[in-house]
Structure formats: C-alpha cells, structure tokens
C-alpha cells in the first residue's frame, strides 16, 4: 500500500528558535563554560540578522543558515577539538529538530576562564 503525502499548509520556524537550538547545543559540549557576548563591532555590522546570547544567525536567499557562535571555554580542554564538537553538535541539533540546511557554523572562542582558588 503506497502512502501519499499531502500538504496541509506551511510550517514556519522563527529565527529565534534556530538561535536557541544552536545555543543549547553549544552549551552541552564539554569545555564550554558559557556563551560570550557578540562583540559590538560585529553586532553593528549585522544589525538585521538574528542575535541571541552568543549566537548570530544569517539566513540566506535559499533559506540556508550561517551560524556564528561566540563561547568562553574551560582551559582544561583542547580548544580545537571542543570547537569541532560544537560545530557537530549544532549541525546535528538543527538538522534533527528543524531540517534546515546549514551552510556554515563558525565558532569564535572569545575567552578562557581559569578557576580562582
């Protein structure tokens, strides 16, 4: 028996939802202490894009998404490895939850926080 898919209407996902998904996926990666604020000069350049606590989204003409993630890391981790894990986690989360194509995920390590004894 064949199944026919019938369109019941449109599904729209707010860009803020994508930013939240990216934020929570990044925070779950070991070594990420917290999200960093988006630098003022970058925020000024991207006035019309979606900005949310350490996440900057740029949505292209073909609904492809570029994600810039700003994080503060723990000094006990390999920063390159943790950054790759952030990219993989965000890609998987966006693909699994929304299915929107991601063109790029750029990770910006803004600082490393050492614990004070």
All structural domains of the chain, each given as residue ranges with its CATH number in brackets, are 15-112 (3.30.70.1350)
Closest CA to 22 of 46, 59, 54: 54
Top-ranked range on mean pLDDT: pick from 3-12, 55-64, 99-108: 99-108
Q: Which residue has the higher pLDDT, 102 or 44?
A: 102
Query: What is the pLDDT at residue 35?
Result: 95
Q: Which pLDDT value is given to residue 43?
A: 54
Q: What CA–CA distance (Å, rounded) separates 117 from 115?
A: 6
Binning pLDDT at 50, 70 and 90, where does residue 61 land?
confident
- Rounded distance between C-alpha atoms, residue 50 and residue 5, angstroms: 33
The model's pTM is: 0.82
Mean pLDDT of the chain: 86
By C-alpha distance, which of 116, 115, 106 is closest to 74?
115
């Amino acid at each position: 028996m064949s199944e026919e898919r019938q369109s019941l209407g449109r599904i729209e996902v707010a860009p803020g939802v994508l930013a939240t998904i990216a934020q929570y996926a990044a925070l779950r990666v070991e070594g990420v202490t917290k999200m960093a604020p988006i630098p003022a000069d970058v925020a000024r350049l991207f006035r019309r894009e979606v900005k949310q606590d350490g996440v900057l989204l740029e949505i292209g003409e073909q609904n492809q998404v570029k994600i810039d993630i700003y994080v503060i890391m723990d000094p006990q981790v390999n920063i390159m490895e943790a950054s790759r894990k952030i990219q993989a986690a965000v890609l998987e989360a966006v693909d699994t939850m929304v299915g929107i194509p991601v063109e790029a995920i750029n990770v910006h390590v803004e600082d490393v926080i050492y614990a004070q004894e």
